[in-house]
Amino acid sequence: MKKALLILLVFCILVSYAKAANLSEAKVAIENAENTVRELASLNISIGFFNSTLNSLKEDFSKGEYGSVLEKANLIESRKEVAYYLYDSMQSAKIRIEELVSASVEVTELKDILRRAEREFYYENYDEASKLVDELFKSISDVEAQQSILAARYEAARQTLTEFFKSHRVEIAISLASILVLIAVVYKTLERRAKQIELKTLVAKKKALERLIVELQRKRYVEDAVSKRFYQLMMEKYKSELRKVESRLLAIRKS
C-alpha cells in the first residue's frame, strides 16, 4: 500500500513538473511571437497572417493547450524566415537594378517583375513572391551577362580599329590627323562624363546605405524594434554593400 502511494505521489510530481515546463515554454513562445510581429511591422512588412496566428496562439494558451501554442509559434517562426529571405532578396535585387540603371541599361522589364514580387509579398502570397524573386534574379543575371558580351564586342572593335590605323599610318596619317584628335577629345569627354555619372550614383548609394545603417541602429538601440539576430544580419549586409561602394569610389577618384 505504501509503495503504491509513493508511486502515485511521484507520478503526480512528474505530471505537475511537465505542466509547469509546458507553461513556461508556451510563455516564451508567445513572447517570441510578439517580438516577431513587432519586427516585421517596423519594416513595413504585412503582418496579417502573423497577427491572426498570434491571436489564435493566445487563445490556445488561455485554454491551456500548450502543445498547440508551441506548434503555432513554430509556424510563425518558419514563416518569419521566409519573410526575411524575400525582403532581403528584393532589397538586393533593387541594388543590382540600380547598378544597371547607372550603366544606362534598359531595366523596364526587371522593374516590372520586381513590382509584381513586391505586390505578392505585400499580400503575403509568399509562394508566388518567391517564384517572382527567382525569375527576377535570373533575368538580372541574363541582362548582366548580355552587357558583358556587348562590352567585350566593343573592346574587340576598338582594338581592331587601332590596328587598322597602325597598319595604314603612312598613307592616311595626314587625312586622319584631325579626326584622331577629335576622337581623342570626344573619348576623354565621354570617359570623364561616365565617371562623373558613376561617381554621382555611387555617392548617392553610399549616403543611402549610411542612412539605412543609422536607421537600423536606431531601431535596435533606441526603439528596440528589431531582434539582435535580424540587426546583425542586416548590418552585415549593409556594411558589405557599403565597402563595395567605397572601394569603387576610391578607384574612380584615383583614376
89-109 confidence digits (pLDDT tens)? 899 889 999 988 988 889 899
Alpha-carbon distance of 183 to 181, in angstroms, equals 5
Residue at 104 is within a domain: no
* Position with higher pLDDT, 184 vs 45: 45
* Averaged confidence pLDDT in the chain: 79
pLDDT digit string, tens, across residues 144-164: 888 765 555 555 446 655 665
C-alpha cell at 84: 526575411
202 close to 245: Cβ distance less than 8 angstroms: yes
Task: Indicate the DSSP class of residue 107.
Answer: -
Sign for the CA dihedral angle at 193, 194, 197, 203 comes to negative
Alpha-carbon distance of 228 to 235, in angstroms, equals 10
> Percent of the chain having pLDDT more than 70?
75
Residue at 110 is within a domain: no
Residue at 190 is within a domain: yes
Residue at 220 is within a domain: yes
Q: How many domains does the chain have?
A: 1
**Residues near 100 by beta carbon (within 8 Å), at least 6 away in sequence:** 107, 110, 140, 143, 144, 147
Question: Which pTM was predicted?
Answer: 0.51
Residue at 44 is within a domain: no
Instruction: For the beta carbon of residue 117, count every other beta carbon within 10 angstroms.
Output: 24
Alpha-carbon distance of 137 to 101, in angstroms, equals 16
Residue at 245 is within a domain: yes
Longest CA–CA span in the chain (Å) reads: 122
Q: What are phi and psi of 223, to 5 degrees?
A: -90, -15
Q: Give yes or no for residue 135 having a pLDDT over 90.
A: yes
Query: Could you write out the DSSP letters of every residue in 165-223?
Result: HHHTHHHHHHHHHHHHHHHHHHHHHHHHHHHHHHHHHHHHHHHHHHHHHHHHHIIIIIS
Q: Give yes or no for residue 128 having a pLDDT over 90.
A: yes
Supply the Cα-derived Rg of the chain in whole angstroms: 30
Residue at 198 is within a domain: yes
* AA identity, residue 110: L
Query: Whole domain around residue 237: which residue ranges?
Result: 173-255
Residue at 187 is within a domain: yes
Alpha helices in the chain (DSSP H): 2-42, 48-62, 66-102, 108-122, 126-167, 169-217, 228-254
Task: Indicate the DSSP class of residue 23.
Answer: H
Closest Cα to residue 248, out of 211, 200, 199, 213?
199
pLDDT score for 104: 87
Closest Cα to residue 136, out of 116, 155, 166?
116
pLDDT score for 187: 64
